[in-house]
Amino acid sequence: MKTALLSSLLLLGALFVAARLGLFSGQPPQDLGVRDGRLKPPSPTRNSVSSQAGLYPDHPQRAHADIAPLPVRGGDGRTALRRLGELLRGLPELRVVERHHDDLRAEARTPWLRFVDDLEFWFDPTQQVIHVRSASRLGREDFGVNRKRVERIRAAWLAATDTFDD
């Protein structure tokens, strides 16, 4: 019994040290970004969400990955993305890593094991929405973390857009 407990504690300690050294952060994908009005498709496993999942009707995770885009009021995509970037910078687990005139990319890091998820946002001028994709770099299942994060961002976005002066 003591040996099993000691082994478990050592394993947990090793996991914690490995996480702090960044061994669970993964490598940033090289294929992110908007191409022909599309963000990267959802992951083939249950570790991503995308407001464009419906563009891939034969995708094995289409239904699981489907999430609504963020609404834009007033139609000014540049202003909306600037404001979204400001909102994201105010969230402690997020870091905006790239911003262009019609899209931005952020990274989210989990507090304990420091897993990294990549988030992409693109203003679609045709639909007047901000499409979103959020995916884990590692693993096959995220246990709903990406969906919960995007819904927290949506709630903050909706609350903030009620106070914007357009």
Asked if the structure places residue 77 within a domain, the reply is: yes
pLDDT of residue 25: 65
CB 118 within 8 A of CB 134: yes
The predicted structure's pLDDT at residue 1? 76
What's residue 110's pLDDT? 83
Could you give the angle at which helices 77-89 and 145-161 cross, rounded to 10 degrees?
120
Q: Please give the DSSP secondary-structure letter assigned to residue 118.
A: E
Q: How many domains does the chain have?
A: 1
Mean pLDDT by 10 residues, the chain (166 residues): 76 59 72 94 96 95 96 86 95 94 93 86 96 95 94 95 63
Q: Determine the Cα–Cα distance for residues 67 and 39; give it in Å rounded to an integer.
A: 13
Residue 52 within any structural domain of the chain: yes
Specify if 18 maps to a domain: no
SS3 157: helix
What does the pLDDT read at residue 14?
Answer: 59
Q: pLDDT value at position 4?
A: 79
**pTM for the structure as a whole:** 0.85
- pLDDT on residue 2: 82
On whether residue 69 sits in a domain, the answer given is yes
The CATH number for 119's domain is 3.30.310.80
**Cβ atoms < 10 Å from Cβ of 22:** 11
**Within-domain flag for 64:** yes
Structural domain contains residue 39: yes
Other CB atoms within 10 A of residue 82 CB: 14
Give the torsion through C-alpha atoms of 50, 54, 55, 57, to 10 deg: 120
By residue range, what is the domain housing residue 61? 25-161
